[in-house]
Structure 1
Amino acid sequence: MNKILKIFIVILIIILIILGVGKYYYEINTKAISTNENIKEKQIEIPKGSTTTNISQILKENNLIKDKNIFRVVSKLKGTEGKLKAGFYTFDTSMTPHEILDKLVEGGNSKNIVKITIPEGFTVEKIAEKLEKNDMANKEKFIDLTYDISKFSTKYDFLKTIPKNMNLEGYLYPETYEIYKDSTEEDIIDKMLYEFSKQYNKVIKESVIPQDLNIHELITLASLVEREAKVDKDRNLISSVIYNRLKIDMPLQIDATIQYAMDERKERLLYDDLEIDSIYNTYKNKGLPIGAICSPGIKSIKASLKPEETNYIFYVLKKDGSGQHFFTDNYNEFLKVKNGK
């Protein structure tokens, strides 16, 4: 046997081994996750505009497929690329990638779905109240669960900077949700945290946070911006004022933190209100409050990551009905606008 023939045979054997291993890997990963003895049902949402890659990620996160790449290969072989539909689905872990793809081509359903909007600036309490009003959750149980951080922090690393004895204030992302009617309070909280995680991975994770704040401090600051800003153009400026005050160790003196500390909200605070004994009283306590005072939207989060570069340390709402604030580094100017002079 000549040398060339020997090399050819070796290469052929290697190719056959690779093909055999590849075939074995493909077959293993196109099987269902569970046997008949250990089947779990999962309810998931495939958002509009999702690619096969996005869908494979969602399925993998929910432990419905073994391998994202094999799922995409199966989709190409079946010719389902571009045919997978958005919607709400109920899958179980006994389904193979082929069966899941067939269902995704058929489309999801909107039966037993309730749509609800959680606005920017809502607190945990307001969210719970709205859910209860729509017969979607028990207010007390929902609020209690938001204090059980350990139940969610293994899945969401960004929760690990939350101080002890605090709740999920600030992390229940404001958005319009479509929720199954039989969802539990825990399911709803998880859905809101998952929505926050998408923004975290897209906007926060790789960003440099000013003044070396941690994630919890950033969300706390963003919640202050959310509650104080009336118009979008003021967000980065209010963020700038807060950072500037933190830098010079000046009390933040933010009225929204007083409102949060009070049992009932007032349209206008009195001087006596500023004396309230609370860890959220930023007139008495320097630095950021211990936690967020609401759920900030993405605009306030972005403004808190990239404040305007200014020397402003004062701002006051203009009296012209525009919703805009007047900003300055001069206390006398601040007083003039505040007093309408």
Structure 2
Amino acid sequence: MKRISLAVLALLVVLALGAAWWLSEHYQAQLDTPMALDASERFQLEPGQGLRSVSRTFAERGWVDSAWVLEAYGRRQGIAPRLQAGEYAVTPGMTPRELIHAMARGEVVQHRLTFPEGWTIRQALAALREHPELIGPAESVGVDNLLEALGLEDLGHPEGWFLPDTYFFGSGTEALAVLQRAHQAMRLHLDRAWEDRIEDHPVKSPYELLILASIIERETGRGDERDRVAGVFVNRLKRGMRLQTDPTLLYAQEPGVQRLTRAELDRDHPYNTYTRAGLPPTPIALPGRAALQAAARPAETNDLFFVSRGDGSHHFSETYREHREAVIRYQLGGDGSRYGIRNR
């Protein structure tokens, strides 16, 4: 009788071990079997959604056979309190184990938005509103009250204060949060440019450097000319000459205006650098890193003038006479009798 009992006990132990082995293999297989997907999908983990709810959703979608397997694994691994809300990419070949760990690490789908160099803050706001994955900004937020919405009222005017770049973010991100990052990036690069400026620079503050950089950004898109364009403006500022640059006047016009009339050139206002010396009161665009650096460390030349060649490049001159000849050649087709435009 005793031998029979021992045999039964041994059998039960073997069966228990076998069951435990089978459960372990089944458990691991569910976690490591690629989910049934024909194409990539997105999974939205809502704020406050817990491990049990996530596990049930996985089971409902056929990604695991049993919700309890994923839930038990998640609790054993300490994943439950680390789940991060957001949008996650689920791709063919991905396993439940990989996805649940991605959620614990917060590896949300990254969307992007680019602010090109030379954009205005109005254009940046429009792009933020049009992006389908961003929240806001509210229609009530515009150029006039943007700084208040960002808690940056001390800056005075928002133009120029946001660095052109490509910004990545998760779905449902507040648009103003993207602008905050762009502003922090601009602060960083503006401070670096200010610290790196030439010793005898005519601008008196980082904000004036920002204004100058925005003008340089709008005057040329050619990297090989940017420093030289900056040199012309710095040379003029040192001599007390008017900058006489069209982009500042265009900034004061209605959006979309590309050409200036004689009347607009003559009309005096703070952005008319033909009638007023010095810099305009605010930046006229969002300057990029290269424009900031060019403004801080311009080319050392004697140039005081430049004129477009019509192919995207410019001709630079040291004297007004040289400049006038270049204008006749590149702007008036060589017909000096029609010369009637202002000098730079």
Q: Same fold (TM over 0.5)?
A: yes
- 1:171 corresponds to: 161
Q: How does 1:188-203 map to 2 (within 5 A)?
A: 188-200=178-190, 203=192
| From 130, 133, 147, the counterpart of 1:133 | 130
- 1:326 corresponds to: 315
Q: Deviations over 1:59-94 (max 9, x none)?
A: xxxxxxxxxxxxxxxxxxxxxxxxxxxxxx779xxx
Contact residue 258 and residue 276 of structure 1 kept, 8 A: no
* Aligned AA (2:146): T
Distance 1:122 1:139, change over 3 A: farther
Shift of 1:240: 0.8
Q: Deviations over 1:226-265 (max 9, x none)?
A: 0001311111111111111111111111100011000133
| From 225, 238, 248, the counterpart of 1:234 | 225
Q: How does 1:65-214 map to 2 (within 5 A)?
A: 107-111=105-109, 113-135=110-132, 136=134, 137=136, 138=138, 140-148=140-148, 151-152=151-152, 162=155, 166-200=156-190, 203-204=192-193, 206-208=195-197, 210-214=201-205
Contact residue 220 and residue 293 of structure 1 kept, 8 A: yes
Residues in 1 aligned to 2:315 and 2:219: alpha-carbon distance in whole angstroms:
13
Residues in 2 aligned to 1:105 and 1:181: alpha-carbon distance in whole angstroms:
14
Aligned residues: 230
- Bigger radius of gyration among the two: 2
Is the aligned partner of 1:249 residue 2:246?
no
| From 293, 299, 302, the counterpart of 2:290 | 299
Q: TM-score, normalised by structure 1?
A: 0.61
Distance 1:150 1:178, change over 3 A: closer
Residues in 2 aligned to 1:150 and 1:132: alpha-carbon distance in whole angstroms:
16
Shift of 1:182: 2.8
3-state SS of paired residue (1:226): helix
3-state SS of paired residue (2:173): coil
Shift of 1:181: 3.6
Residues in 1 aligned to 2:265 and 2:211: alpha-carbon distance in whole angstroms:
20
Shift of 1:109: 1.9
Contact residue 129 and residue 139 of structure 1 kept, 8 A: no
Contact residue 313 and residue 329 of structure 1 kept, 8 A: yes
- 2:250 corresponds to: 259
Residues in 2 aligned to 1:264 and 1:144: alpha-carbon distance in whole angstroms:
16
3-state SS of paired residue (1:204): helix
Structure 2 residue ranges without an equivalent (≥5): 1-46, 48-83, 87-100, 335-344
Shift of 1:198: 3.5
Residues in 2 aligned to 1:236 and 1:146: alpha-carbon distance in whole angstroms:
32
User: Percent identity over the alignment?
Assistant: 27
Structure 1 residue ranges without an equivalent (≥5): 1-40, 42-88, 92-102, 154-159
Distance 1:174 1:139, change over 3 A: farther
* Aligned AA (2:108): S
Contact residue 141 and residue 185 of structure 1 kept, 8 A: no
Residues in 2 aligned to 1:188 and 1:142: alpha-carbon distance in whole angstroms:
15
Residues in 1 aligned to 2:186 and 2:238: alpha-carbon distance in whole angstroms:
28
Shift of 1:309: 1.0
Shift of 1:167: 1.4
Residues in 1 aligned to 2:323 and 2:202: alpha-carbon distance in whole angstroms:
26
* Aligned AA (2:124): I
Residues in 1 aligned to 2:111 and 2:141: alpha-carbon distance in whole angstroms:
19
Contact residue 150 and residue 180 of structure 2 kept, 8 A: no
Q: Deviations over 1:281-327 (max 9, x none)?
A: 111111001110000000000001111111111100113x2x11111
Contact residue 190 and residue 292 of structure 2 kept, 8 A: no
- The root-mean-square deviation of aligned C-alpha atoms, in Å, is 2.8
Q: Deviations over 1:81-121 (max 9, x none)?
A: xxxxxxxx779xxxxxxxxxxx899643233x431111000
| From 223, 226, 243, the counterpart of 2:214 | 223
Q: TM-score, normalised by structure 2?
A: 0.60
